[in-house]
Structure 1
Amino acid sequence: MDELPEEEKAGIPAWVVTFADLMSLLMCFFVLLLSFSEIDAQKFKQIAGELAQAFGVQREVPALEIPMGTSPVFDQFSPAPPEPTVVNEVRQTTSEQAPELDTLRGRAEADIQRQLDQQVQETTTRVAEVLDEAIRDGRVQLAEDEHRIVIRIEERGSFPSGSADITWEFEGLLLEMAEVFADIPGKLTIEGHTDNVPIRSDRFRSNWDLSAVRASSVANVLLESGAVEPQRLVVKGLADTRPRANNDSTESRALNRRVEIIIDLSGPMAEEEARLRELIEGHQDEILIPNIESSPAPSAGLAW
């Protein structure tokens, strides 16, 4: 009896071998292309970061860093603090003082300042009238510095060069100024200034001596008139420490050789301001502002 032939087992199809060879060749080809290419690490990192944000990849947040939300418009976003909804509500407020008092007080402050400025201007005008001829000749200059009036006296026509002896013409001008100073309150500071050229003589050892003696010479003339009280005067010798111009030419050095008389009105102005404020506060209960310009001057205050 003949034996039956064994059944042939099914094997791998023939096309699989060809497909595997093709895939192996393709993989080798792309690996070869990748080996020839260059990778931009910074651009790769940026793209990877954008992909991580786009797909919501969670990152580690340090404990001290506050987590912030992201937005398609802004890179960083922080929510605004919540605020209550505005309610259209009208409330009536009351005040113990009259509503027009603040307006009146502001008007009074302006009146006080205007009155003080007017008094300083009147004082400057009085001094300018006495010094009119000297100002036009260029021997004297007049200026205002806040609550100070500065009378700048040039060396020309006042002192001989290198000397502290006052000329006869300048002495007469000082005597006229003393009469005006008698009616003007405040301190009188007399400052002597020189250039930077050293001086050494039998009388003056340096510019400090020269500037101090010139300032004291002016003070002596004012005291000899009897119109100026000694306790009002302050004498300073500053040598070349406060020049008006550079000492690089004859003209600039001449500008630095000078004597300045400074009328300090800050003290009397403060007293006058306090007096005017007391006048206003005395009428606050009646809500009245006095007419400051027509108010009488105090008997022992400013003498403008």
Structure 2
Amino acid sequence: MKKREEPQKENHERWLITYADLITLLLIFFVVMYTLSKIDANKYYAIASSLAKTMGGSQSIMESGGPSMVPGASESKELDTVMENLEQQNMEKIKRQIQEYVDQNGLSGKVTVSIEERGVVVSFQDVVLFPLGVAELNPSSRDIVDKVGAILRQTPNYIRVEGHTDNLPIRTSKFPSNWELSLARSASVVHRLIEFSDIPPDRLSATGYGEYRPRRPNDSDTNRQQNRRVDIVVLRTKFQEVEPEAVDKPIVNQATQ
């Protein structure tokens, strides 16, 4: 007579497998969260979203290949590379749009557009924007600044307006020197960009270099005309980092305390 087989005992420890899987997933989750905390997320998403919007919203950072999730120096380098590539595309787009406007309106030779290490530089000869020795925009120049401003409004980058003069001295009650004239001209352009192009004021700055940043030697009328100019510079992000940041809270005057 065959011996009756005993029924197999039910394994009551199978839940440990599910529990171990859960613990493993939680560990992976916290490792990923720790890795992401090492990335400047605000800088990453602010630039990524702004540049994606500028390029039509059809391209995302992830489509271009994002940074590695593995902790280490490579993730930061890859992230910077992705942002630099996107920013370069944005700079080239701005240059192309402004150059098209310049060509279509017969401004070639008077307005130049170039990409330098610091960013896109739109350079206006003074005759395009201002009469000689004057800092107020003339009616025709206002339209030019407005059209360029509409293009610049698309970018989140800081914009610096730089005024330049030649070395011919100016001594009037309004402009004691070329410093005042160059600064007043750049300020006029900044005010126009704020009021009619809706560019946020905290993204703009005005500076005057007077005669001390010439393109060419001030030894002829032709060269001096090249030196009298106003440059609008769209700064790359790496140069924005050295700009002073806005303070949200009001500054208290210590003398009144």
Equivalent runs, 1:131-142 vs 2, <5 Å:
131-133=102-104, 136-142=107-113
Question: Contact conserved, 2:216 with 2:226, CA < 8 A, in 1?
Answer: yes
Equivalent runs, 1:76-155 vs 2, <5 Å:
114-133=85-104, 136-155=107-126
Q: Deviations over 1:109-156 (max 9, x none)?
A: 987765443333223212323333456432200010135000000012
Other structure's SS at 2:129 match:
coil
Question: Contact conserved, 1:181 with 1:227, CA < 8 A, in 2?
Answer: no
Question: Contact conserved, 1:151 with 1:262, CA < 8 A, in 2?
Answer: yes
Question: Contact conserved, 1:151 with 1:261, CA < 8 A, in 2?
Answer: yes
Structure 1 pair 108–259 and aligned structure 2 pair: CA distance change class (3 A):
closer
Q: Offset of 1:202 from its aligned partner?
A: 2.4
What letter is aligned with 1:161? Answer: L
Query: Which residue matches 2:139?
Result: 168
Query: Which residue matches 1:46?
Result: none
Query: Which residue matches 2:206?
Result: 235
Query: Which residue matches 2:170?
Result: 199
What letter is aligned with 1:224? Answer: E
Give the alignment partner of residue 218 of structure 2, picking from 247, 252, 264. Answer: 247
What letter is aligned with 1:215? Answer: S
Query: Which residue matches 2:246?
Result: none
CA distance in 1, matches of 2:162, 2:79: 38
Q: Percent identity at matched positions?
A: 29
Structure 1 pair 258–268 and aligned structure 2 pair: CA distance change class (3 A):
closer
Question: Contact conserved, 1:128 with 1:142, CA < 8 A, in 2?
Answer: yes
Give the alignment partner of residue 225 of structure 1, picking from 186, 193, 196. Answer: 196
Q: Offset of 1:182 from its aligned partner?
A: 1.4
Other structure's SS at 1:150 match:
strand
CA distance in 2, matches of 1:230, 1:112: 24
Q: Deviations over 1:17-61 (max 9, x none)?
A: xxxxxxxxxxxxxxxxxxxxxxxxxxxxxxxxxxxxxxxxxxxxx
CA distance in 1, matches of 2:143, 2:172: 28
CA distance in 2, matches of 1:137, 1:202: 35
Question: Contact conserved, 1:135 with 1:141, CA < 8 A, in 2?
Answer: no
What letter is aligned with 2:151? Answer: V
Q: Offset of 1:162 from its aligned partner?
A: 1.0
Structure 1 pair 245–269 and aligned structure 2 pair: CA distance change class (3 A):
closer
Question: Contact conserved, 1:186 with 1:268, CA < 8 A, in 2?
Answer: no
Query: Which structure 2 segments of 5+ residues have no match?
Result: 1-76, 242-257
So what's the TM-score if we normalise by structure 2? Answer: 0.58
CA distance in 2, matches of 1:107, 1:137: 39
CA distance in 1, matches of 2:210, 2:118: 25
Q: Offset of 1:208 from its aligned partner?
A: 0.7
What letter is aligned with 2:216? Answer: A
CA distance in 2, matches of 1:221, 1:116: 26
CA distance in 1, matches of 2:93, 2:194: 24
What letter is aligned with 2:120? Answer: I
Please tell me the root mean square deviation across aligned C-alpha atoms, in Å.
2.9
Q: Offset of 1:222 from its aligned partner?
A: 0.9
Query: Which structure 1 segments of 5+ residues have no match?
Result: 1-105, 271-304
Q: Deviations over 1:195-253 (max 9, x none)?
A: 11110112111111110111111111111115211111110011011011111111111
How many aligned positions are there?
A: 168
What letter is aligned with 2:142? Answer: E
Query: Which residue matches 1:190?
Result: 161
Structure 1 pair 111–218 and aligned structure 2 pair: CA distance change class (3 A):
closer
Give the alignment partner of residue 185 of structure 2, picking from 214, 217, 221. Answer: 214
CA distance in 2, matches of 1:224, 1:160: 22
Question: Contact conserved, 1:140 with 1:154, CA < 8 A, in 2?
Answer: yes
What letter is aligned with 1:209? Answer: E
Q: Deviations over 1:270-302 (max 9, x none)?
A: 9xxxxxxxxxxxxxxxxxxxxxxxxxxxxxxxx
After TM superposition, the structure 1 stretch with the greater mean CA deviation from structure 2, 177-186 or 112-121, is 112-121
